[in-house]
Structure 1
Amino acid sequence: MRSTLPTFNEVWQQQFRLDVLKQSSLLAENSTFLIGCSGGMDSMLLLHLMSQLFPGKIRAIHINHQLQSVSDDWALFVRQQCRQLNVPCMVQSVHVAGGNLENQAREARYQAYRQHLNPDEILVLAHHQQDQAETVMLRLLTGSGVRGLSAMQAVDARDWLMIWRPLLDISREQIAQWTQQLRLDYVDDPTNMDTHYDRAWCRQELWPVLQHRYPGMQQALARSSYLMQDADEILNDVLKQDLAACGHAGQLQLEKLSQLSTARQRQLLSAWMQGEHRYRPPFDMVQRLQHEVIHSRVDAQAALHWNGFYYVRFQQVLYRLDKAVYEAERSMQQVPDQQVKFLLDQSIRLDSGLFQIERMRMGLSVALLGEKLNLKHRAGGEKIHLYGRTGSRPLKKIIQDAHIFPWMRHTIQILSMDNVMLGVFTPEGFWLAQSRYCEAGGWQPDLIDG
């Protein structure tokens, strides 16, 4: 009986060649290709097809994870096959850390790809339809949203690379038949049968059960991934509009955020927390941001730490702060009092910013230029009589009224002479204090870079 699967020659003439060339038209006209080649059946078929479709424009890379006793033999095999096809080949050995070996091996591979990929070169991978369906299923089981369920794209543009997956709509059964018809050699990775790994468990245990009940399951799941890609594109358009309305990468206006629907609030917060990282935060982390920070008491100094950033609320604004910025106060050692000298036009870098000494209509006495002045961090309880204001007020209250962020207040320093407060260096500038050292035509430090 004739096989229902088309032969390689038929597909080559009728569909596959056209599909591949159509996809390649989405890429740069003069693109070259780096093929990720494990030596397995899928990647060896891909290597063979690409060598015929794009002769002279491809090279291959084999990542040796060093996890199998035969890893070096696989690397040698890939080299030999590439030599027969006249395809340049490189082998990169990587170290896979402990923990989740599947994830660690994937990260190690992509780091190696990034290291060897030339500018404007496209990474070509052999993911196929079953890989796509398995990805959708595994992500569904881990509670992924629209972005996760969109799974892999045939042409995937990222910040640091372009990925092309020409076989993504091709079934594993077709790949197996074509490989047999072309009499291609390949290696078998025993971990593909080890159900200790999630993907192998999905393929060996879950897949047969589901396919027995739903024969078209694989195609249906792959189709769902494309529908999710459309939904993700639409969602991204909405998120861009919401972010522009509510703030930017560093902060969100909570009053404007509250005007969005609950679903749009949650999606915006999730995308905002993701930032430039590859993955969104877990759902419970977004909920924690809402409950512990956004909806905390007005006078609370709540902060949530995730993925190298702190999320804090100050008044009606939610801030996304680099960990080093937020923790600077705790990591800052107690600095003893300093003695400083100032000269006109001098620039000086202090904790609160870069200041330049300039003539002002009203300022400190010129007689103080070149003199030793005392500089110290505030200890608490200080009062200051600001020039032009009536009476002294607690420095703490003035700092609060100036809306200086709590995480920046450790940078504030007090300038004095003979125990007389001359002024205060702050992230908002220099505050001149009323004293006997004030005079018309004097000088002040001017903040030029905060």
Structure 2
Amino acid sequence: MRSTLPAFNEVWQRQFRSDVLKQEQQFPENTCFLIGCSGGMDSMLLLHLMSYLYPEKIRAIYIDHQLQTLSASWGAFVSDQCAALNIPCIVEAVNVQSGNLEQQAREARYQAYLKHLKPNEILVLAHHQQDQAETLILRLLSGTGVQGLSAMKKVDIREQFTLWRPLLNTSREQICQWSAQLDVQNIEDPSNLNTDYDRAWCRHELWPMLQNRYPKMQQALGRTSYLMQDADEILQDVLQQDLAFCGTVAELDLKKLSQLSTARQRQLLSAWMKGQETYRPNFGMVERLRYEVIESKLDAQAALHWNQHYYLRYQQKLFRLSLDEYLAEKNQSDTLVVTIQVQLNQNIKVLSGQYLAEPNKIGLSASLLGKTLSLVLRQGGEKIYLHGRVGSWPLKKAIQEAQIFPWQRHTIQILSIDNVMLGVFTPQGFWLAQSEYCEVGGWQPNLIS
């Protein structure tokens, strides 16, 4: 890091440098930086400062959302400014999907960042104190909770990358004065004035009215975000304890969940539904999960769909299934019967998983190896004489007793030869049937995945 910054207000310089040094201590040695640069005043000032602080350790990236006729020329401007500062620059055009334009543009932007970030790089963005305050206001108006009101972190360590916001304590007014003193060139995006967008409306219409009444609102909201970050950190500790007590990322024990207070139940369900996604479900969706699924009648087949997952209850447990898992039965082939030939130590792939044909103390006769065997989907009404049990059982009853999940039962296949049942492939393994082909020192398919 260079020892000096370009001349500007000494108080700001000391404060900014102190903040940077504290935050830098969180980064591994030899960390480099990828600066997201839109060409606006904030990001261009950040680009200049980083060029002084970390020469030869930075790159810049301009994301062209292709939503403005001048967006390509803005990319050229950023590229030229980077060349003057001897900073490598990437210009990446993205396609923004339809829907909420602000959200979809953000998603496209971050996907582009991920595409270009190197393993030793941290993404650096120019969010400042007013951005933080606006984020808090907008999230408050959307009905968010503690995590949402935490707004943005200076150093945000995410699953796929780390994000650093060095200017988060710097006011918009300071940035304007600082940029003027350093003669930082920038472009103006006219969409920033379009109050059809929530953030522009907040900045140009709501903000002046509130600031007129509360002159120190920006600093106060900044403090609130930090207090909420503290509260969220405490809440995360409680959530981890509650999740460990109640279940896993895939299922929750409803009896144990009921032992928690209503507030802790609601928080755990919200965080559990979020999973690895960026945002939690809204309050209404969590309430729907409670009333429509958890508290539905015991014989109900209730399921709730949210954000590419289905949530459903079975045997006093709540399950989180992917879209593919839940819809697998509907997307299954109509073919009822297929044939297979098995050799010893051969992998067998069936609907319920991957099996390996191995020698077993009690198993199927070696005479079946290499023969054409039938695999038949369960139709209902079948009976099975399970080896080691007395008499035949309805297959349905055996499945229920084994508590095989209803959404997995379509994968159950009956193995047979000449209408003689040899056994059943299930998600819990192969069930050997008593038959003339069942013998000591035989072989059996064993579930491996």
TM norm structure 2: 0.93
| Equivalent pair of 1:355/1:445 in contact (CA under 8 Å) | no
CA distance in 2, matches of 1:184, 1:367: 84
| Equivalent pair of 1:102/1:197 in contact (CA under 8 Å) | yes
Greater Cα shift, 55-64 or 163-172? 55-64
| Counterpart amino acid of residue 134 in structure 1 | E
CA distance in 2, matches of 1:316, 1:249: 16
1:286 maps to what in 2?
286
Alpha-carbon distance, 1:397 to partner: 1.0
Deviations 1:166-225 (A, max 9, x none): 111111111111111222221111111111111110011101111111111111111110
CA distance in 1, matches of 2:105, 2:369: 62
2:23 maps to what in 1?
23
Q: Is the aligned partner of 1:71 residue 2:75? A: no
- Correspondence 1:93-242 to 2 at 5 A: 93-242=93-242
Q: Is the aligned partner of 1:443 residue 2:442? A: yes
| Equivalent pair of 2:194/2:201 in contact (CA under 8 Å) | yes
CA distance in 2, matches of 1:200, 1:283: 26
| Counterpart amino acid of residue 299 in structure 1 | D
2:270 maps to what in 1?
270
* Structure 2 unmatched ranges of 5 or more: 1-6
* Structure 1 unmatched ranges of 5 or more: 1-6
Deviations 1:306-353 (A, max 9, x none): 222221222022121222122111110122323333343333222122
CA distance in 2, matches of 1:280, 1:398: 39
Say if 1:369 and 1:85 are closer, same or farther in 2 by CA, change over 3 A: closer
CA distance in 1, matches of 2:89, 2:305: 43
Say if 1:255 and 1:58 are closer, same or farther in 2 by CA, change over 3 A: same
Give secondary structure in 2 for the equivalent of 1:391.
coil
1:89 maps to what in 2?
89
CA distance in 2, matches of 1:428, 1:99: 43
Greater Cα shift, 231-240 or 377-386? 377-386
| Equivalent pair of 2:363/2:444 in contact (CA under 8 Å) | no
CA distance in 1, matches of 2:317, 2:230: 32
Give secondary structure in 2 for the equivalent of 1:103.
helix
1:256 maps to what in 2?
256
CA distance in 2, matches of 1:85, 1:11: 26
CA distance in 1, matches of 2:221, 2:150: 10
| Counterpart amino acid of residue 52 in structure 1 | Y
Say if 1:386 and 1:189 are closer, same or farther in 2 by CA, change over 3 A: same
Greater Cα shift, 371-380 or 120-129? 371-380
Give secondary structure in 1 for the equivalent of 2:67.
coil
CA distance in 1, matches of 2:270, 2:119: 32
Say if 1:177 and 1:370 are closer, same or farther in 2 by CA, change over 3 A: closer
Greater Cα shift, 359-368 or 176-185? 359-368
Q: Is the aligned partner of 1:378 residue 2:382? A: no
Alpha-carbon distance, 1:442 to partner: 5.0
Alpha-carbon distance, 1:274 to partner: 0.9
Deviations 1:424-444 (A, max 9, x none): 2222222233334434x2524
CA distance in 2, matches of 1:429, 1:104: 44
CA distance in 2, matches of 1:77, 1:346: 62
| Equivalent pair of 1:292/1:302 in contact (CA under 8 Å) | yes
Q: Runs of 4 or more off by more than 6 Å in structure 1?
A: none
CA distance in 2, matches of 1:295, 1:29: 52
Aligned residues: 443
| Equivalent pair of 1:430/1:444 in contact (CA under 8 Å) | no
| Counterpart amino acid of residue 95 in structure 1 | N
Alpha-carbon distance, 1:375 to partner: 2.3
CA distance in 2, matches of 1:18, 1:365: 77
Alpha-carbon distance, 1:411 to partner: 1.3
TM norm structure 1: 0.93
CA distance in 1, matches of 2:423, 2:192: 70
Alpha-carbon distance, 1:12 to partner: 5.0
CA distance in 2, matches of 1:388, 1:119: 56
Deviations 1:106-140 (A, max 9, x none): 11211111111111211111111110000000000
Deviations 1:271-300 (A, max 9, x none): 111111111112211111111221122222
| Equivalent pair of 1:357/1:446 in contact (CA under 8 Å) | yes
2:303 maps to what in 1?
303
| Counterpart amino acid of residue 15 in structure 1 | Q
| Counterpart amino acid of residue 448 in structure 1 | L
Greater Cα shift, 138-147 or 355-364? 355-364
| Equivalent pair of 1:129/1:222 in contact (CA under 8 Å) | yes
CA distance in 2, matches of 1:13, 1:365: 83
- Correspondence 1:328-407 to 2 at 5 A: 328-407=328-407
Greater Cα shift, 139-148 or 374-383? 374-383
| Equivalent pair of 1:303/1:313 in contact (CA under 8 Å) | yes
Q: RMSD of the alignment, in Å?
A: 1.9
Say if 1:27 and 1:359 are closer, same or farther in 2 by CA, change over 3 A: closer
| Equivalent pair of 1:150/1:228 in contact (CA under 8 Å) | yes
| Equivalent pair of 2:366/2:443 in contact (CA under 8 Å) | no
